Amino acid sequence: MSPKFLRDTFLSLVIAGSDTTGSTLTWLFWLLSKNPSVEAKILDEIYRHQKPNDQQQVGKPSAGGDDSYKEQEEITIFKAEECQKLTYLHAAVCESLRLFPTVPMNHKMPIERDVLPSGHIVTPNTKIIMPYYSTGRMVSVWGEDCMEFKPERWISPAGHDRILHQPSYKFQAFGAGPRACIGREMSLTVIKMIAATILCHYRYELADLTIHLRSPNPSFLKSRTTSRLSSDVHFVVSALKINSILTLIRSIVK
């Protein structure tokens, strides 16, 4: 590999992996706040796979505001290898990307005259728009429940610990073909690490409960380079104790 190839690959991972990861996490938490039963199932999975020694001691700043650390508290920080076991969380992330792909649309151009399967003739340099946001919500592709946030559609019938593979041209959140996103696996791992860590320590709720999942309001769905929630959508976040988490799981998961 040439230095230029390594440089370009590194820049792609750094630049393309910042806003996209943040956008995916934002939509994931928004969907979980609207679907508490899914959140509870994720928490149940996390605590079923968590080992007693999975907690790390993290310093807590002293009341004086200096850099010294006088108090210690236990915070669970998830590692990449631990997140590989979180199948349901992985399914929830994929389902979030299906409904709200980080890049809502893309385009390609043919290098020579061609005829599409639909019968349309395209000439060189014609932009062919690929609306990932729309194709992720097509009944003909995802079924009658395509508008529902349903992580179970990603779980293999062969077992709850296996993810059901979806063809890249069906699930296009990371693109498809030879120019698909090179950071797919890295981004999924980072998203799961962050999501699992936050879910273990915080409870979050929408400040405005009038926002409905089935009828997204264009005022908060902004389609730029990445899709994102607008600044007028707020979450109320509170710290969670272990007893509160277990109570939440028991109250929802039967």
Question: Which residue bears the tokens 């079923």?
Answer: 48
Integer Cα distance of 11 and 48 in angstroms: 38
The answer for residues whose C-beta is within 8 angstroms of residue 63's C-beta and 6 or more apart is: none
At 155, the amino acid letter reads I
Torsion angles phi and psi, residue 35, rounded to 5: -130, 75
At 119, the amino acid letter reads G
Cβ 170 vs Cβ 106: under 8 Å: no
Question: Which residue bears the tokens 């969380």?
Answer: 89
Torsion angle, CA of 79/82/83/88, rounded to 10 degrees? -150
Integer Cα distance of 219 and 222 in angstroms: 7
Cα–Cα distances (Å) from 77 to 89, 194, 200, 201, in that order, read 16, 8, 9, 10
Is position 94 annotated in a ligand binding site? no
> Helix 242-252 vs helix 36-49: angle between axes, to the nearest 10 degrees?
120
Tokens of 9: 């690959």
The answer for residues whose C-beta is within 8 angstroms of residue 151's C-beta and 6 or more apart is: 38, 41, 88, 91, 92, 94, 95
Number of continuous H segments (helices) and E segments (strands) in the chain: 9, 10
Q: Which residues are annotated binding-site positions for heme?
A: 181
Q: Which residues are annotated binding-site positions?
A: 181
